Structure 1
Amino acid sequence: MPQTETKPSTYRPVNAKFNIAQATRWSVYFIAIGLIAGMGSVIFQYLCQLGLHFFLDMLAGYRPPSPAGEHHLLPPTSVPFNRLMLLFLPAMGGMLSGWLVYTFAPEAEGHGTDAAIKAYHNKGGFIRTRVPVIKTIASAITLTTGGSGGREGPIAQIGAGFGSFLATTLKLSDRERRIMMAAGIGAGVGSIFRAPLAGALFAAEVLYRDTDFESEVIIPAGISSVVAYCIFCLVFGWGSLFDSPPFNFRNPLELGPYLVLALVLVATGVFYIKAFYGTIHLFASLKKIPNHIKPAIGGLLTGIIGFFLPHTLAFGYGFAQKAINNELAVPFLLTLALGKVLTTSFSIGSGGSGGVFGPSIVIGGAMGGCVGRIFHDIMPSVVTQPGAFVVVGMAGFFTAVSNTPISTIIFVSEMTNSYHLLLPSLLVCSVAYMASRRWTIFRQQVQSKVDSPAHAGDFFVDILQAIPVNDLMPLVKKVTLIPQDMPFMAFKRYFSETKQHYFPVVDQEKRLVGIFSINDIRGVLFSPEIEQLVLMKDVATADIIYTTPEEDLNAVLKKFTTRNIDSLPVVQADDRGILLGMLNRREVIAFYNQKVDEMKSRRQDRYGV
């Protein structure tokens, strides 16, 4: 192909100066996302409170305790406890939510955070507008009829859905839509759990399995999360979700029991993930059963467990509060943790709607309470506050199942208003994270930014910019040099025997003076009347597009693409008349792919994944 320039690609230069109008515009967007996410949290909280009152209280006489930061909106009824109703109520809720989801928005089934992660990586942050609405109603039905799940899934999709809708309406780019969608996730989760800082960090961290953050998401998610948190607290009151005594860490010997706790949490976390996805695969294999019926079957299985262990139904945050206060015995805590694993798996894994963060907090807190009470009985002078293990257990367990150690530590600290346990939380979360990297409850997480389709182009440029042409010198090919005074007839005889496509032209001192390609000689080949008169310097162009060993491959690839050529002459940096060889576009792309494969292999060797 000729070494001539085609129409160059146009681009809009980046203005490095601070643009106050643009900053204001984006701030308005993120504030709007926070307002919608906050109001969505308020609406969903009202739906859950009303559902618990009318379903569990009025129909079954079951009134689970609330955490310290929440209070019932309506006074409790005097309906006597009806254990038999708990057997069938989750099935009724599963039937209704299943019909709603699979009729109007099938992608709203399961836990919503994973769907939002998938949209971020694979769909340019696009979420159908109806999904948050259906997810909210279906989740409220599932959770308030006894199904076990968390509130973060539907709330994350409310915020994410509005961020996606706003970006689509404003015709923003996929990158900007992803940022606004992630800001919605942070706002929703941060408000419903009263943890704005953790919500912002969670939105940036939950996208990847490695210790990687989506840095461009943190500030937008922070703005949206603060606004949503304020909206929620203006309605339901300020303060943390849980209340904890003034726990303190003062004895280094206590790190031993905390290390044991980390290992227990990892084992429980693996059981949780296996049970959850085992249930999903089981119900997916039931091909003859309509999808909207499956949540009813899962609800029935949940009801069977709830018939014997009522404390494993619904949210369970009140029992986590009692565990923090050291009010629950080890057998109760153990059945709460293991039973919650099963009820969550049946409720959500069958196609029901809800989140997985909330149950993880309860399961981790219960297992932490078990370990804390046992070590308190064994060594009371070392483990003086078993309730502290509940708080650390919450953080460690969700880290083990989600690969989000940093945001989870902050989550639990904000949710419990206890910042004195950061040191043991850091130990437990670090150990849990390293020991459970092979598993995750969020299957749509990608390993790192390198593996995300959302960043494919970014890393293509980053990697190429880090590689100089000098690294490819073994691949730079020596080619036949064409003297500038060679007659065309002589070249014609040589051309019939070569597979070379590009031909450097040199003077008597072997210095590069021009270059031509096989396309440049077509006019002469088909004009036999001038063949005898043409010399090769007449065919070659003196406007040579070249590269040097010091130039990076990103610049080289731009020359290939914008100039529409397949091979570049590599010349000496301090003397452009000295030709070192020709570099082919195919070799550059193959070298890039090799580097990416090496990076992935090193990461797999490092982490064992």
Structure 2
Amino acid sequence: MNNSQDKDRDDQDNNNKLNLIPQRFIEATQKLNTVLLYASLVGIMTGFVGTSFRLTVTAILHQRQVLAVLLQNYPILNYILAIAISGIMGYVAFWLMRRFAPDTGGSGIPQIEGFLDGVFSLHWQRVLPVKFFAGLLTLGSGMILGREGPTIQIGGSVGKMVGDCFRGTKEDLRVLVAAGAGAGLATAFNAPFAGIIFVIEEMRPEFQHPISSLRSVTLACVMATLTTRLMVGQQPVMDITRFDIPQLDSLWIFAILGIFIGIIGYLFNLFLLRALNIFSSLRGLSYQFTGLYVGAIFGLLSLIYYPTTGGGDYTIIWAFDQQISGDVLILVFCIRFILTMISYGSGAPGGIFAPMLALATIFSLGTAREFHSWFPQLLPEPAVLAVAGMGALVAATVRAPLTAIILTVEMTGNYLLILPLLITCLMASMTAHKLGGKPIYSVLLERAIQKKSNQK
């Protein structure tokens, strides 16, 4: 009996010694495992599905523009068709979402984060098809929604699917879902490094083996980007001017811009939550036909003034290419701000990253043209301020400044603007924090958990 107790005591002592060994030493002795192979498969599949989603949305919007041009001599018919097509697309999207997969509403990022935290399940069998087709319909209707939300949730679902197929452990599933989510962001913006940092900075999953798990996330993002570039080419998502390094004595302008965008970020989160609450309180016909009338609004606006609709890619290029006055840009910013609240607040399947990038760019460019008139020597190229401000709203609302900085650099190819981007994004993030704002995805996750508990 004493020998047995001594053996148990020795085993306990050995376990205690193992617990004292730093994680880095344990991981240094580990061999490569099959999760890396699964992660590469997740990346390839996410890259293919996500890029197909992106190309299909572009094709739908292009065909709608072609139809509008063909019917320009028949304005009444043109307006009727635009309103009807967008309204029907919105209605069908909401029906699919509510009938088959309510957890595909919004960007889907809080749902992925909830799975990684162990508070939500992830049913890829219904999430994958519904998010893909409902996302096509909402983005194709002209709503102000980003493709990154669908591709992130699709990527996470692909990770869960691959893990289930290969009968991975619970930890393997978490790693693959995180890898798929990062690959989804990388696919949406052709930005692999941003996908990796997004998982680390925003999702912050706590893995049993952090280094090997990070390798899986990295590999998935790389494979997704390779697949994307094979399908659409290697050019940045935003094909705009590559700017030189701004003068050091002009950096205070970027700091002031960051403060302004930080205030906007605080207001953005505040009004977005109010919009979500308003739409979630709807009952009866106003609830049943949400997609119909929201879609119809954007069908009408797409003919009245196209830059006020869509995810934001076209609006950003339009703002850079046209010599538009600062007043007009600020007006477009205000309109898109309100319409973004309606689009995302309605609960439509779609992301919020791209709309925020567009909002920040338009506001920054409008501000830059005003600054240029006051300080022409300090800011010889006013559009450089727009690139610096592009990711600042993401930094302020999501509270993920590194993701915002790297995403902006990879999207635009402006690698020389790291310092101005750091200043603008950090000032925006700190200003929003000082005002009392909370990270938007954390608030949305908390809201989703509360909704789930109320339903029980």
- TM-score, normalised to structure 2's length? 0.84
Instruction: Report the CA distance shift for 1:347/1:215 in structure 2 as closer, same or farther (over 3 A).
Output: farther
Give 5+ residue unaligned stretches, structure 2. Answer: 20-25, 450-456
Alignment of 1:552-563 (within 5 A): none
1:375 alignment partner, one of 367, 371, 377: 371
Distance (Å, rounded) in 2 between the aligned partners of 1:83 and 1:316: 22
Question: 2:141·2:299 contact (CA, 8 Å) conserved in 1?
Answer: no
Question: 1:302·1:346 contact (CA, 8 Å) conserved in 2?
Answer: no
* Structure number, greater radius of gyration: 1
Give the drift of 1:318. Answer: 2.2
Counterpart of 2:216?
A: 220
SS for the counterpart of 1:223 is helix
Counterpart of 1:106?
A: 102
Name the amino acid aligned to 1:27.
L
Counterpart of 1:33?
A: 42
Alignment of 1:466-485 (within 5 A): none
2:384 alignment partner, one of 388, 410, 420: 388
Question: 2:191·2:410 contact (CA, 8 Å) conserved in 1?
Answer: yes
Give the drift of 1:169. Answer: 3.3
SS for the counterpart of 2:342 is helix
Distance (Å, rounded) in 1 between the aligned partners of 2:271 and 2:297: 14
Counterpart of 1:469?
A: none
Give the drift of 1:338. Answer: 2.0
Q: Percent same amino acid at aligned positions?
A: 23
2:235 alignment partner, one of 239, 252, 266: 239
Question: 2:143·2:309 contact (CA, 8 Å) conserved in 1?
Answer: yes
Distance (Å, rounded) in 2 between the aligned partners of 1:308 and 1:185: 36
Give the drift of 1:293. Answer: 2.2
Give the drift of 1:307. Answer: 5.7
Counterpart of 1:328?
A: 324
- TM-score, normalised to structure 1's length? 0.64
Counterpart of 2:255?
A: 259
Alignment of 1:498-513 (within 5 A): none
1:440 lines up with 2:449 in the alignment: no
2:58 alignment partner, one of 23, 35, 49: 49
Give the drift of 1:363. Answer: 0.6
SS for the counterpart of 2:380 is coil
SS for the counterpart of 2:203 is coil
Question: 1:302·1:347 contact (CA, 8 Å) conserved in 2?
Answer: no
CA deviation profile, 1:386-443 (whole Å, cap 9, x unmatched): 1111111111111111111011101100100001111111011111111113233314
Name the amino acid aligned to 1:47.
T
2:399 alignment partner, one of 389, 395, 403: 403
Give the drift of 1:217. Answer: 4.9
Distance (Å, rounded) in 2 between the aligned partners of 1:410 and 1:178: 24
Question: 1:323·1:387 contact (CA, 8 Å) conserved in 2?
Answer: no
Alignment of 1:175-254 (within 5 A): 175-207=171-203, 217-254=213-250
Alignment of 1:337-356 (within 5 A): 337-356=333-352
Instruction: Report the CA distance shift for 1:310/1:246 in structure 2 as closer, same or farther (over 3 A).
Output: closer
Question: 1:125·1:178 contact (CA, 8 Å) conserved in 2?
Answer: no
Question: 2:263·2:431 contact (CA, 8 Å) conserved in 1?
Answer: no
Q: Give the CA RMSD over aligned residues.
A: 3.0
Give the drift of 1:136. Answer: 1.1
Worse-matched range after superposition: 23-32 or 45-54: 45-54
Give the drift of 1:222. Answer: 1.4
Count the aligned residue pairs: 422
Give the drift of 1:124. Answer: 6.7
Instruction: Report the CA distance shift for 1:302/1:342 in structure 2 as closer, same or farther (over 3 A).
Output: farther
Name the amino acid aligned to 2:395.
T
Counterpart of 2:133?
A: 137
CA deviation profile, 1:107-154 (whole Å, cap 9, x unmatched): 111122222222222347734322022111111111111111000011
Distance (Å, rounded) in 2 between the aligned partners of 1:420 and 1:157: 32
Worse-matched range after superposition: 230-239 or 111-120: 111-120
Distance (Å, rounded) in 1 between the aligned partners of 2:302 and 2:273: 21
Name the amino acid aligned to 2:41.
A
Distance (Å, rounded) in 2 between the aligned partners of 1:17 and 1:309: 58
SS for the counterpart of 1:258 is helix
Give 5+ residue unaligned stretches, structure 1. Answer: 62-76, 453-609
Name the amino acid aligned to 2:105.
E
Name the amino acid aligned to 1:52.
L
Give the drift of 1:30. Answer: 1.0
Instruction: Report the CA distance shift for 1:121/1:445 in structure 2 as closer, same or farther (over 3 A).
Output: farther
Q: Which one has a larger percent helix, Structure 1 or Structure 2? A: 2
Distance (Å, rounded) in 2 between the aligned partners of 1:369 and 1:172: 48
Question: 1:295·1:347 contact (CA, 8 Å) conserved in 2?
Answer: no
Name the amino acid aligned to 1:246.
R
Give the drift of 1:87. Answer: 4.4
Question: 2:144·2:310 contact (CA, 8 Å) conserved in 1?
Answer: yes
Instruction: Report the CA distance shift for 1:208/1:330 in structure 2 as closer, same or farther (over 3 A).
Output: farther
Give the drift of 1:78. Answer: 7.5
Distance (Å, rounded) in 1 between the aligned partners of 2:343 and 2:189: 21
Give the drift of 1:161. Answer: 0.2
Question: 1:195·1:415 contact (CA, 8 Å) conserved in 2?
Answer: yes
Give the drift of 1:231. Answer: 0.7
Distance (Å, rounded) in 2 between the aligned partners of 1:334 and 1:412: 21
Alignment of 1:69-88 (within 5 A): 82-83=78-79, 85-88=81-84
1:296 alignment partner, one of 268, 288, 292: 292
Question: 1:280·1:349 contact (CA, 8 Å) conserved in 2?
Answer: yes
